[in-house]
A and B are shown apart, each in its own frame.
Chain A
Amino acid sequence: MNPVNYLYLAALLFTIGAAGVLIRRNAIVIFMCVELMLNACNLAFVTFARLHGNLDGQIIAFFTMVVAAAEVVVGLAIIVTIFRSRHSASVDDAGLLKL
Protein backbone atom coordinates (compact mmCIF):
# COMPACT_ATOMS: atom_id res chain seq x y z
CA MET A 1 0.00 0.00 0.00
CA ASN A 2 1.15 3.50 -0.78
CA PRO A 3 0.64 6.17 1.97
CA VAL A 4 -1.04 8.30 -0.70
CA ASN A 5 -4.14 6.31 0.28
CA TYR A 6 -4.17 8.34 3.49
CA LEU A 7 -4.45 11.46 1.33
CA TYR A 8 -7.42 10.00 -0.52
CA LEU A 9 -9.07 9.20 2.81
CA ALA A 10 -8.39 12.75 4.02
CA ALA A 11 -9.95 14.17 0.84
CA LEU A 12 -13.00 11.93 1.31
CA LEU A 13 -13.47 12.96 4.95
CA PHE A 14 -13.06 16.64 4.01
CA THR A 15 -15.72 16.25 1.32
CA ILE A 16 -18.13 14.54 3.72
CA GLY A 17 -17.58 17.34 6.23
CA ALA A 18 -18.25 19.96 3.56
CA ALA A 19 -21.46 18.16 2.62
CA GLY A 20 -22.54 18.29 6.26
CA VAL A 21 -21.87 22.02 6.47
CA LEU A 22 -23.98 22.61 3.36
CA ILE A 23 -26.86 20.27 4.24
CA ARG A 24 -27.42 20.45 7.98
CA ARG A 25 -29.05 23.41 9.72
CA ASN A 26 -28.43 22.67 13.38
CA ALA A 27 -25.56 24.98 14.36
CA ILE A 28 -23.93 22.36 16.61
CA VAL A 29 -23.91 19.71 13.88
CA ILE A 30 -22.50 22.21 11.38
CA PHE A 31 -19.76 22.96 13.86
CA MET A 32 -18.99 19.28 14.26
CA CYS A 33 -18.70 18.96 10.48
CA VAL A 34 -16.20 21.84 10.46
CA GLU A 35 -14.20 19.90 13.06
CA LEU A 36 -14.30 16.87 10.76
CA MET A 37 -12.88 18.98 7.93
CA LEU A 38 -10.08 20.25 10.19
CA ASN A 39 -9.26 16.68 11.21
CA ALA A 40 -9.11 15.60 7.58
CA CYS A 41 -6.60 18.40 6.92
CA ASN A 42 -4.55 17.22 9.89
CA LEU A 43 -4.43 13.70 8.48
CA ALA A 44 -3.21 15.11 5.17
CA PHE A 45 -0.51 17.15 6.95
CA VAL A 46 0.71 14.15 8.94
CA THR A 47 0.83 12.06 5.77
CA PHE A 48 2.75 14.78 3.95
CA ALA A 49 5.24 14.82 6.82
CA ARG A 50 5.78 11.10 6.29
CA LEU A 51 6.09 11.44 2.53
CA HIS A 52 8.63 14.25 2.86
CA GLY A 53 10.53 12.61 5.69
CA ASN A 54 10.58 15.64 8.00
CA LEU A 55 8.50 16.82 10.93
CA ASP A 56 7.24 20.18 9.61
CA GLY A 57 3.89 18.73 8.58
CA GLN A 58 3.35 17.41 12.09
CA ILE A 59 4.12 20.85 13.52
CA ILE A 60 1.49 22.41 11.26
CA ALA A 61 -1.03 19.75 12.34
CA PHE A 62 -0.20 20.57 15.96
CA PHE A 63 -0.87 24.27 15.40
CA THR A 64 -4.11 23.38 13.62
CA MET A 65 -5.21 21.48 16.70
CA VAL A 66 -4.48 24.48 18.95
CA VAL A 67 -6.41 26.83 16.67
CA ALA A 68 -9.29 24.32 16.44
CA ALA A 69 -9.49 24.15 20.23
CA ALA A 70 -9.66 27.94 20.51
CA GLU A 71 -12.24 28.07 17.70
CA VAL A 72 -14.44 25.46 19.38
CA VAL A 73 -14.44 27.31 22.69
CA VAL A 74 -15.49 30.62 21.15
CA GLY A 75 -17.92 29.05 18.66
CA LEU A 76 -19.75 27.02 21.27
CA ALA A 77 -19.97 30.08 23.51
CA ILE A 78 -21.59 31.98 20.62
CA ILE A 79 -24.04 29.12 20.00
CA VAL A 80 -24.99 29.04 23.69
CA THR A 81 -25.52 32.81 23.70
CA ILE A 82 -27.69 32.70 20.57
CA PHE A 83 -29.69 29.81 22.01
CA ARG A 84 -30.30 31.79 25.19
CA SER A 85 -31.76 34.76 23.36
CA ARG A 86 -33.63 32.90 20.58
CA HIS A 87 -34.36 29.46 22.11
CA SER A 88 -33.21 27.81 18.90
CA ALA A 89 -29.93 26.47 17.55
CA SER A 90 -31.05 26.45 13.93
CA VAL A 91 -28.96 28.60 11.61
CA ASP A 92 -32.08 29.61 9.67
CA ASP A 93 -33.49 31.51 12.63
CA ALA A 94 -30.42 33.67 13.22
CA GLY A 95 -30.84 35.92 10.20
CA LEU A 96 -29.78 39.12 11.91
CA LEU A 97 -26.79 39.82 14.07
CA LYS A 98 -28.81 42.00 16.42
CA LEU A 99 -31.19 40.40 18.87
Chain B
Amino acid sequence: MIAPSLAASAASTTSTGEAVQFWILAVVAVLGALGAVFMKKAVHSALSLAGTMIVLAVFYLANGAYFLGVVQIVVYTGAIMMLFLFVVMLVGVTAADSLKETIRGQRWLAGLCVLGFGILLMAGIANASLKEWNGVGRANAGGNVEGLASLIFTKYVFAFEITGALLITAAVGAMVLTHRERTERAATQRERAEQRVREGKQVTPLPAPGVYARHNAVDIPGLLPDGTASELTVSPTLRARGQVRDVSGEALQDLKALEQRSSDWLERGRSEDADANAKGASK
Protein backbone atom coordinates (compact mmCIF):
# COMPACT_ATOMS: atom_id res chain seq x y z
CA MET B 1 0.00 0.00 0.00
CA ILE B 2 1.30 3.44 -0.83
CA ALA B 3 1.25 5.81 2.08
CA PRO B 4 0.25 9.36 1.25
CA SER B 5 3.06 11.82 1.43
CA LEU B 6 3.49 13.18 4.90
CA ALA B 7 4.45 16.56 3.53
CA ALA B 8 2.13 19.15 4.95
CA SER B 9 2.54 21.46 2.01
CA ALA B 10 0.51 21.15 -1.18
CA ALA B 11 1.57 18.40 -3.54
CA SER B 12 0.99 18.20 -7.26
CA THR B 13 1.51 14.55 -8.17
CA THR B 14 1.24 11.15 -6.51
CA SER B 15 3.92 8.51 -6.47
CA THR B 16 4.41 6.37 -9.57
CA GLY B 17 3.44 3.27 -7.60
CA GLU B 18 0.06 4.73 -6.76
CA ALA B 19 -0.47 5.70 -10.39
CA VAL B 20 0.29 2.14 -11.55
CA GLN B 21 -1.99 0.75 -8.85
CA PHE B 22 -4.76 3.14 -9.85
CA TRP B 23 -4.67 2.34 -13.56
CA ILE B 24 -4.64 -1.42 -13.00
CA LEU B 25 -7.30 -1.52 -10.28
CA ALA B 26 -9.53 1.09 -11.93
CA VAL B 27 -9.92 -1.24 -14.91
CA VAL B 28 -10.83 -4.07 -12.54
CA ALA B 29 -13.37 -1.86 -10.75
CA VAL B 30 -15.05 -0.75 -13.96
CA LEU B 31 -15.16 -4.32 -15.28
CA GLY B 32 -16.72 -5.46 -12.00
CA ALA B 33 -19.32 -2.71 -12.17
CA LEU B 34 -20.19 -3.58 -15.77
CA GLY B 35 -20.44 -7.22 -14.75
CA ALA B 36 -22.82 -6.31 -11.93
CA VAL B 37 -25.07 -4.51 -14.40
CA PHE B 38 -24.96 -6.88 -17.37
CA MET B 39 -24.64 -10.36 -15.87
CA LYS B 40 -27.82 -12.35 -16.40
CA LYS B 41 -27.86 -14.20 -13.08
CA ALA B 42 -28.16 -12.28 -9.81
CA VAL B 43 -25.43 -14.38 -8.15
CA HIS B 44 -22.89 -13.40 -10.81
CA SER B 45 -23.87 -9.75 -10.41
CA ALA B 46 -23.33 -9.98 -6.66
CA LEU B 47 -19.89 -11.54 -7.05
CA SER B 48 -18.81 -8.90 -9.61
CA LEU B 49 -20.00 -6.18 -7.26
CA ALA B 50 -18.06 -7.74 -4.37
CA GLY B 51 -14.91 -7.54 -6.52
CA THR B 52 -15.53 -3.87 -7.24
CA MET B 53 -16.02 -3.19 -3.53
CA ILE B 54 -12.73 -4.84 -2.61
CA VAL B 55 -10.97 -2.67 -5.21
CA LEU B 56 -12.66 0.40 -3.71
CA ALA B 57 -11.35 -0.64 -0.27
CA VAL B 58 -7.81 -0.62 -1.72
CA PHE B 59 -8.47 2.86 -3.11
CA TYR B 60 -9.62 4.07 0.31
CA LEU B 61 -6.40 2.78 1.84
CA ALA B 62 -4.38 4.47 -0.90
CA ASN B 63 -6.21 7.72 -0.19
CA GLY B 64 -5.21 7.61 3.47
CA ALA B 65 -8.60 6.46 4.76
CA TYR B 66 -7.25 3.43 6.62
CA PHE B 67 -10.26 2.98 8.90
CA LEU B 68 -12.74 3.25 6.03
CA GLY B 69 -10.76 0.78 3.94
CA VAL B 70 -11.05 -1.86 6.64
CA VAL B 71 -14.71 -0.99 7.29
CA GLN B 72 -15.41 -1.27 3.56
CA ILE B 73 -14.12 -4.85 3.51
CA VAL B 74 -15.75 -5.88 6.78
CA VAL B 75 -19.13 -4.19 6.33
CA TYR B 76 -19.66 -4.08 2.57
CA THR B 77 -18.00 -7.21 1.19
CA GLY B 78 -18.32 -9.13 4.44
CA ALA B 79 -21.83 -8.30 5.61
CA ILE B 80 -23.88 -6.51 2.95
CA MET B 81 -22.86 -8.61 -0.04
CA MET B 82 -23.33 -11.82 1.95
CA LEU B 83 -26.80 -10.59 2.92
CA PHE B 84 -27.47 -10.08 -0.79
CA LEU B 85 -26.30 -13.63 -1.50
CA PHE B 86 -28.61 -14.99 1.19
CA VAL B 87 -31.57 -13.17 -0.32
CA VAL B 88 -30.59 -14.39 -3.80
CA MET B 89 -30.62 -17.89 -2.33
CA LEU B 90 -34.11 -17.33 -0.92
CA VAL B 91 -35.58 -15.45 -3.85
CA GLY B 92 -33.46 -15.73 -6.94
CA VAL B 93 -33.77 -19.43 -7.62
CA THR B 94 -36.88 -19.23 -9.72
CA ALA B 95 -36.74 -15.50 -10.38
CA ALA B 96 -35.11 -15.67 -13.80
CA ASP B 97 -34.69 -12.14 -15.11
CA SER B 98 -36.43 -11.97 -18.45
CA LEU B 99 -34.44 -9.80 -20.82
CA LYS B 100 -37.46 -8.84 -22.90
CA GLU B 101 -38.21 -5.13 -22.93
CA THR B 102 -41.62 -4.23 -21.58
CA ILE B 103 -41.40 -0.56 -22.49
CA ARG B 104 -40.36 -0.09 -26.11
CA GLY B 105 -37.06 1.72 -26.56
CA GLN B 106 -36.44 1.85 -22.83
CA ARG B 107 -32.88 0.59 -23.13
CA TRP B 108 -31.88 3.08 -25.79
CA LEU B 109 -33.42 5.95 -23.85
CA ALA B 110 -31.75 4.77 -20.63
CA GLY B 111 -28.40 4.51 -22.40
CA LEU B 112 -28.80 7.98 -23.84
CA CYS B 113 -29.75 9.50 -20.46
CA VAL B 114 -26.85 7.76 -18.73
CA LEU B 115 -24.39 8.89 -21.41
CA GLY B 116 -25.52 12.49 -21.04
CA PHE B 117 -25.39 12.26 -17.27
CA GLY B 118 -21.88 10.81 -17.36
CA ILE B 119 -20.64 13.53 -19.71
CA LEU B 120 -22.18 16.15 -17.43
CA LEU B 121 -20.49 14.74 -14.31
CA MET B 122 -17.09 14.32 -15.95
CA ALA B 123 -17.23 17.77 -17.53
CA GLY B 124 -18.04 19.23 -14.12
CA ILE B 125 -15.01 17.55 -12.58
CA ALA B 126 -12.76 18.51 -15.50
CA ASN B 127 -13.96 22.09 -15.22
CA ALA B 128 -12.67 22.29 -11.64
CA SER B 129 -9.15 21.61 -12.97
CA LEU B 130 -7.42 21.01 -9.66
CA LYS B 131 -3.67 21.11 -10.00
CA GLU B 132 -2.57 21.04 -6.35
CA TRP B 133 -3.97 19.36 -3.29
CA ASN B 134 -3.21 19.17 0.40
CA GLY B 135 -2.93 15.44 1.09
CA VAL B 136 -4.36 13.88 4.21
CA GLY B 137 -0.92 13.42 5.83
CA ARG B 138 -1.22 16.20 8.41
CA ALA B 139 -4.77 15.24 9.38
CA ASN B 140 -3.62 11.63 9.83
CA ALA B 141 -0.53 12.62 11.81
CA GLY B 142 -2.05 11.55 15.15
CA GLY B 143 -3.46 8.38 13.62
CA ASN B 144 -6.39 8.01 11.24
CA VAL B 145 -8.72 6.32 13.73
CA GLU B 146 -7.94 8.88 16.45
CA GLY B 147 -8.57 11.73 14.02
CA LEU B 148 -11.92 10.28 12.96
CA ALA B 149 -12.91 9.59 16.58
CA SER B 150 -12.15 13.11 17.71
CA LEU B 151 -14.35 14.48 14.90
CA ILE B 152 -17.20 11.98 15.42
CA PHE B 153 -17.42 12.64 19.16
CA THR B 154 -17.18 16.43 18.94
CA LYS B 155 -18.36 18.04 15.71
CA TYR B 156 -20.54 15.19 14.44
CA VAL B 157 -21.74 13.78 17.75
CA PHE B 158 -25.39 14.63 17.08
CA ALA B 159 -25.37 12.86 13.70
CA PHE B 160 -23.67 9.92 15.37
CA GLU B 161 -26.43 9.65 17.99
CA ILE B 162 -29.10 9.81 15.26
CA THR B 163 -27.26 6.99 13.50
CA GLY B 164 -27.90 4.77 16.52
CA ALA B 165 -31.63 5.49 16.33
CA LEU B 166 -31.56 4.75 12.59
CA LEU B 167 -29.87 1.38 13.08
CA ILE B 168 -32.35 0.31 15.76
CA THR B 169 -35.27 1.38 13.55
CA ALA B 170 -33.83 -0.58 10.63
CA ALA B 171 -33.36 -3.71 12.73
CA VAL B 172 -36.92 -3.53 14.09
CA GLY B 173 -38.26 -2.77 10.61
CA ALA B 174 -36.54 -5.80 9.09
CA MET B 175 -37.94 -8.03 11.82
CA VAL B 176 -41.47 -6.65 11.45
CA LEU B 177 -41.39 -6.99 7.65
CA THR B 178 -40.11 -10.54 7.49
CA HIS B 179 -41.98 -11.94 10.49
CA ARG B 180 -45.03 -13.96 9.56
CA GLU B 181 -47.79 -14.48 12.09
CA ARG B 182 -49.40 -17.90 11.71
CA THR B 183 -53.10 -17.18 11.52
CA GLU B 184 -54.34 -20.75 11.14
CA ARG B 185 -53.40 -24.09 12.63
CA ALA B 186 -50.82 -26.12 10.68
CA ALA B 187 -52.35 -29.18 8.96
CA THR B 188 -51.54 -32.49 10.64
CA GLN B 189 -50.08 -35.41 8.76
CA ARG B 190 -53.42 -37.24 8.71
CA GLU B 191 -55.21 -34.20 7.28
CA ARG B 192 -52.59 -33.81 4.58
CA ALA B 193 -52.85 -37.49 3.65
CA GLU B 194 -56.64 -37.22 3.43
CA GLN B 195 -56.31 -34.13 1.26
CA ARG B 196 -53.93 -35.97 -1.08
CA VAL B 197 -56.42 -38.80 -1.50
CA ARG B 198 -59.27 -36.31 -2.03
CA GLU B 199 -57.33 -34.45 -4.75
CA GLY B 200 -56.24 -37.77 -6.26
CA LYS B 201 -53.22 -36.28 -8.05
CA GLN B 202 -50.23 -37.95 -6.38
CA VAL B 203 -51.30 -40.25 -3.58
CA THR B 204 -48.03 -42.08 -3.09
CA PRO B 205 -44.77 -40.37 -2.16
CA LEU B 206 -42.88 -38.88 -5.10
CA PRO B 207 -40.62 -41.36 -6.91
CA ALA B 208 -36.91 -41.16 -6.13
CA PRO B 209 -34.50 -39.75 -8.72
CA GLY B 210 -32.39 -41.94 -10.93
CA VAL B 211 -33.46 -45.30 -9.54
CA TYR B 212 -34.68 -46.67 -12.83
CA ALA B 213 -31.76 -45.21 -14.74
CA ARG B 214 -28.18 -46.30 -14.18
CA HIS B 215 -27.35 -43.40 -11.83
CA ASN B 216 -28.60 -42.40 -8.41
CA ALA B 217 -27.58 -38.71 -8.26
CA VAL B 218 -30.36 -36.27 -7.28
CA ASP B 219 -30.03 -34.24 -10.48
CA ILE B 220 -30.66 -37.20 -12.78
CA PRO B 221 -34.29 -37.96 -13.48
CA GLY B 222 -35.60 -41.50 -13.28
CA LEU B 223 -36.63 -43.03 -16.57
CA LEU B 224 -40.13 -44.11 -17.52
CA PRO B 225 -40.58 -47.51 -19.22
CA ASP B 226 -40.32 -45.92 -22.67
CA GLY B 227 -36.94 -44.38 -21.84
CA THR B 228 -38.06 -40.74 -21.39
CA ALA B 229 -37.14 -38.77 -18.26
CA SER B 230 -39.78 -38.39 -15.55
CA GLU B 231 -40.37 -34.82 -14.35
CA LEU B 232 -41.64 -35.97 -10.96
CA THR B 233 -38.40 -37.53 -9.83
CA VAL B 234 -36.27 -34.36 -9.59
CA SER B 235 -36.73 -31.51 -7.16
CA PRO B 236 -38.59 -28.49 -8.63
CA THR B 237 -35.73 -26.24 -7.47
CA LEU B 238 -33.23 -28.07 -9.68
CA ARG B 239 -35.73 -28.00 -12.51
CA ALA B 240 -36.17 -24.23 -12.16
CA ARG B 241 -32.41 -23.69 -12.15
CA GLY B 242 -32.04 -25.84 -15.25
CA GLN B 243 -29.61 -28.17 -13.46
CA VAL B 244 -31.31 -31.43 -14.37
CA ARG B 245 -28.96 -33.83 -16.14
CA ASP B 246 -30.69 -36.07 -18.65
CA VAL B 247 -28.74 -39.28 -19.18
CA SER B 248 -31.53 -41.27 -20.83
CA GLY B 249 -29.89 -40.89 -24.25
CA GLU B 250 -26.63 -42.09 -22.74
CA ALA B 251 -28.28 -45.24 -21.40
CA LEU B 252 -29.90 -45.95 -24.76
CA GLN B 253 -26.56 -45.43 -26.49
CA ASP B 254 -24.87 -47.80 -24.04
CA LEU B 255 -27.51 -50.38 -24.81
CA LYS B 256 -27.03 -49.89 -28.53
CA ALA B 257 -23.25 -50.26 -28.17
CA LEU B 258 -23.74 -53.44 -26.15
CA GLU B 259 -26.05 -54.86 -28.80
CA GLN B 260 -23.53 -53.90 -31.49
CA ARG B 261 -20.70 -55.60 -29.61
CA SER B 262 -22.67 -58.77 -28.99
CA SER B 263 -23.84 -58.95 -32.57
CA ASP B 264 -20.22 -58.46 -33.73
CA TRP B 265 -19.18 -61.23 -31.41
CA LEU B 266 -21.92 -63.56 -32.60
CA GLU B 267 -21.15 -62.68 -36.21
CA ARG B 268 -17.49 -63.55 -35.69
CA GLY B 269 -18.38 -66.82 -33.93
CA ARG B 270 -20.73 -67.70 -36.73
CA SER B 271 -18.15 -66.94 -39.41
CA GLU B 272 -15.55 -69.02 -37.53
CA ASP B 273 -18.03 -71.87 -37.38
CA ALA B 274 -18.68 -71.45 -41.05
CA ASP B 275 -14.92 -71.50 -41.72
CA ALA B 276 -14.52 -74.66 -39.65
CA ASN B 277 -17.47 -76.25 -41.44
CA ALA B 278 -16.01 -75.28 -44.79
CA LYS B 279 -12.64 -76.84 -43.82
CA GLY B 280 -14.39 -79.98 -42.60
CA ALA B 281 -16.35 -80.19 -45.81
CA SER B 282 -13.24 -79.78 -47.95
CA LYS B 283 -11.55 -82.57 -46.06
**Given that A35-B49, A65-B71 are known contacts, is A18 also in contact with B117, CB under 8 Å in the complex?**
yes
**Selected contact of A90 from candidates B59, B79, B95, CB within 8 Å:** B95
Minimum CB–CB distance from A99 to chain B (whole Å) comes to 13
**Given that A35-B80, A43-B56, A78-B177 are known contacts, is A20 also in contact with B37, CB under 8 Å in the complex?**
yes
Q: How far is the CA of A83 from the CA of B178 in the complex (A)?
A: 11
Minimum CB–CB distance from B83 to chain A (whole Å) comes to 6
Q: How far is the CA of A76 from the CA of B98 in the complex (A)?
A: 21
Q: Is A1 an interface residue (CB 8 A)?
A: yes
CB-based contact B37/A24 at 8 Å: yes
With a cutoff of 8 Å between Cβ atoms, the chain B residues found around residue A20 in the complex are 36-37
With a cutoff of 8 Å between Cβ atoms, the chain A residues found around residue B136 in the complex are 49-50, 53-55
| Closest B residue by C-beta to A54 | B139
CB-based contact A4/B130 at 8 Å: yes
Q: How far is the CA of A70 from the CA of B173 in the complex (A)?
A: 10
CB-based contact B121/A16 at 8 Å: no
With a cutoff of 8 Å between Cβ atoms, the chain A residues found around residue B84 in the complex are 28, 31-32, 72, 76
With a cutoff of 8 Å between Cβ atoms, the chain A residues found around residue B167 in the complex are 66, 69-70
Main secondary structure of the interface of B (DSSP, over half): helix
Per-residue A-contact encoding for B187-229, CB less than 8 Å = 1, 0 else: 0000000000000000000000000000000000000000000
With a cutoff of 8 Å between Cβ atoms, the chain B residues found around residue A94 in the complex are none
Q: How far is the CA of A74 from the CA of B178 in the complex (A)?
A: 10
Per-residue A-contact encoding for B87-110, CB less than 8 Å = 1, 0 else: 110111011011000100011001
| Closest A residue by C-beta to B114 | A19
| Closest B residue by C-beta to A78 | B177
CB-based contact B121/A50 at 8 Å: no
CB-based contact B29/A9 at 8 Å: yes
Q: Is B26 an interface residue (CB 8 A)?
A: yes
CB-based contact B36/A32 at 8 Å: yes
Q: Is B271 an interface residue (CB 8 A)?
A: no
